[in-house]
Chains A and B, each alone.
Chain A
Amino acid sequence: MTEPSRLSQQEIPAPLQVAPFALIFLLFFLIPLGLTLMVSFWDYNEYQILPAFTVRSYVEIFSGCLAKLPDLCVTFKTYLSTLKFCVIVWLTTLIIGFFVAYFLAFHVRSLTMQITLFLVCTIPFWTSNIIRTISWIPLLGRNGLLNAALLKLGIIHAPIEWLIFSNFSVILSLVQLYTLFMIVPVFNSMMRIDRSLLEAAYDAGASGWQTLWNVIIPLSKPGLVIGSIFVVTIVMGDFVTVGVMGGQQIASIGKVINTQMNALQFPPAAANSVVLLIAVLLIISAMTRLVDIRKEL
């Protein structure tokens, strides 16, 4: 460490300390979102975007949606498909995440062991999602390990096709990637539960299930809500996993946006982003009513 200069005799004011951090979010988060909203109301042709106000992009997104009812238009179908993934992945990660966290917090007794097992769950999060996704292919593929094993055992007579590049593989992969987002906040909530409450419940004659249902689950609610927000928002916007594991055959809103961007159709991509963002914000606002995130860290 160098000797303090005269400047460091005084404390750096907080606004100055936080300024570079805040500036990053202003320049590369808030302004881009604002520009996205702006461009979503611009016109375009094959070559360029035209800065003239129009609702063309929004009209195109929802064109025929009302007229076609009760049949679903492409947009509604895409949202419905994404929502379906959301609900299934959310429920699965909620159940797995809860019990994994419960095991770590209440059944593993030494702190060292808790930290070690927690790290075991966390380490994959620090490795590549894409590689973790394609890792399923040799296991679930047409000639993959699972099909080969089932064929050999005589349980099936032809390879199961829906194991890979299907809704099933997308869900499997999403659950594998994002259960951690459920485990961490739930584990955090559970570690803050006063252990004497469990003793009290036990002394008062509560069974294991009653304690779980009436004490642990209500007190883990903040973690469950935060985890749910993470999982739902990630799945809503996902396009990489749906792309790779869906064999590029399954629609998602993220993929629609990605495709339009690659085709340089910026206004419709922006309009789709705005719609997606509104959908996500509606879901989150419903969930945040239940909990104050900042108190939970």
Chain B
Amino acid sequence: MRSGRSPAFYWLAALFAAFVLFLYGPMITIVILSFQGPEGGLTFPMNGVSLHWFSKLWEGLGVVDIWAAFGRSLRLGAVVMVLTVVLSLAAGLAYRKRFPGSDLLFYVVVASLIVPSIVVSLGIGLEFRLFDDTVKSLADSLGWSWLADTYTTAMGLYTSALAAHLTWTLPFGLLIMFAIFNRFDRRYEEAARDLGATPWKSFAHVVLPIIGPSVIGIGLFGFTLSWDEAARSSQAIGDLNTLPLELQGLTTTVTNPAIYALGTVTTGVSFVVIFASLGLIQFLRRRQARHGSDAGQGLT
């Protein structure tokens, strides 16, 4: 390439810097404002610096039990993360061989990504409502009063909401798996097989260590997309809301910096997860480079 920087470089660098400021500026603003003094309001100027609004948040925000929602979202995020990693990994492995309907499934997965979330949400909501109605009428007609009297709904955090989240995280998981295996050098695996490794052994000791860092990336998508998801679960959640859904309601009812404190805490959780994942990916890459003999050289 030519040496020296063209004038275009400086224009583009300035554009990039402006874009980054545009991305992060607002977020930084609310982090600063969440440390607003007790007398301070929703905007600048800062009226002193304090942890007042965090302690208000700690006590809860009015009628909404925000910490219960916080816990629910954390647990749901963890479940979504594990399922996204396991199911995407298995599906990604299957796609390396041929199986009937592979093209169809691929299009369905892409469709799930681009069908508007509100439509998916409504569909899952309807599905569970119709299921509930069916169970109730069946119980009535069979005279199973124990069921008819106690059954309310199948909708809930680990049923409909989990399903809604998976339709959003799994496509990302599969696309990342494709990206991984498109760049994967099969010769490592063949070598393992030639040396007598069983399919399981070659997966566990050859394939998984090589693709490990990217698999953590899938987990990162799984957790963070679930942790922040509101649109898809909005109609498929039942009685107990996740944190983003509560937050959406709070934007109109809470009119003090406590909502910024909540934003700071939520973003903090995201950042902890993001940097833990990136750190782990970095660590695995380094270890690969140190011990990995030639394993991993196939990855670029």
Same complex: yes
Interface contacts beyond A12-B199, A100-B16, A103-B16: sample of 10 additional A-B pairs, CB < 8 Å, sorted by A = A15-B99, A28-B164, A99-B15, A126-B220, A126-B221, A127-B271, A145-B43, A176-B26, A240-B231, A254-B118
What 5 A-B pairs have minimum CB-CB distances, sorted nearest first?
A: A237-B116, A32-B123, A135-B26, A8-B200, A18-B94
Taking Cβ atoms with an 8 Å cutoff, the residues of A that contact B are 1, 4, 8-15, 17-18, 20-22, 24-25, 27-33, 35-36, 39, 96, 99-100, 102-104, 107, 109, 117, 119-121, 123-124, 126-132, 134-139, 141, 143-145, 148, 176, 179, 195, 199, 202, 208, 229-230, 233-234, 236-240, 244, 248, 254, 257-258, 261, 266, 269-270, 273, 276-277, 280, 284, 293-294, 297
A residues less than 8 Å from B20 (CB atoms): 120-121
Are B110 and A293 neighbours in the complex by a CB distance under 8 Å? Answer: yes
B residues less than 8 Å from A239 (CB atoms): 118, 231
Which of B52-60, B145-153, B172-180 participates in binding chain A?
A: B172-180
Chain B nearest CB: distance from A201 CB in Å?
Answer: 12
Tell whether A294 pairs with B106 under 8 Å between CB atoms, given A8-B199, A17-B94: yes
Contact of A273 among B93, B106, B118, B244 (CB under 8 A): B118
CA–CA, A237 and B122, complex, Å: 12
24 interchain pairs (CB within 8 A)? A4-B200, A9-B200, A18-B95, A18-B99, A21-B91, A21-B94, A29-B112, A30-B108, A31-B127, A100-B15, A107-B8, A121-B20, A130-B230, A130-B248, A134-B263, A135-B29, A141-B43, A145-B29, A148-B43, A202-B2, A229-B114, A237-B116, A261-B122, A270-B122
Contact of B123 among A35, A99, A128, A230 (CB under 8 A): A35
Are A258 and B267 neighbours in the complex by a CB distance under 8 Å? Answer: no
Are A130 and B90 neighbours in the complex by a CB distance under 8 Å? Answer: no
Are B91 and A137 neighbours in the complex by a CB distance under 8 Å? Answer: no
CA–CA, A276 and B122, complex, Å: 12
Which has the most chain B C-beta neighbours within 10 Å: A127, A137, A208, A270?
A127
**Closest chain B residue to A36 by CB distance?**
B123
Which has the most chain A C-beta neighbours within 10 Å: B98, B108, B251, B259?
B251
Are B127 and A124 neighbours in the complex by a CB distance under 8 Å? Answer: no
Would you call the interface of chain B mostly helix, strand, loop, or mixed?
helix
* B224 at the A interface (CB under 8 A): yes
Tell whether A176 pairs with B23 under 8 Å between CB atoms, given A21-B91, A99-B12, A138-B29: yes
User: Number of B residues whose C-beta is below 8 Å from A?
Assistant: 100
**Closest chain A residue to B109 by CB distance?**
A25
Count of A-B contacts judged by CB separation below 8 Å: 268
Are A131 and B8 neighbours in the complex by a CB distance under 8 Å? Answer: no
Are B91 and A277 neighbours in the complex by a CB distance under 8 Å? Answer: no
Are B167 and A29 neighbours in the complex by a CB distance under 8 Å? Answer: yes
Taking Cβ atoms with an 8 Å cutoff, the residues of B that contact A are 1-2, 6, 8-9, 12-13, 15-16, 19-20, 22-27, 29-30, 33, 42-44, 87-88, 90-91, 93-95, 97-102, 105-106, 108-120, 122-127, 129-130, 163-164, 166-167, 170, 174-175, 178-179, 182, 198-201, 204-205, 220-221, 224-225, 227-228, 230-231, 234-235, 244, 247-248, 251-252, 259-260, 263, 266-267, 270-271, 273-274, 278
Contact of B126 among A21, A35, A124, A127 (CB under 8 A): A35
Tell whether A103 pairs with B12 under 8 Å between CB atoms, given A18-B95, A280-B115: yes
Are B43 and A32 neighbours in the complex by a CB distance under 8 Å? Answer: no
Are A137 and B247 neighbours in the complex by a CB distance under 8 Å? Answer: no
Chain A nearest CB: distance from B297 CB in Å?
Answer: 15
Are B259 and A134 neighbours in the complex by a CB distance under 8 Å? Answer: yes
Are B170 and A96 neighbours in the complex by a CB distance under 8 Å? Answer: no
Chain A nearest CB: distance from B122 CB in Å?
Answer: 5
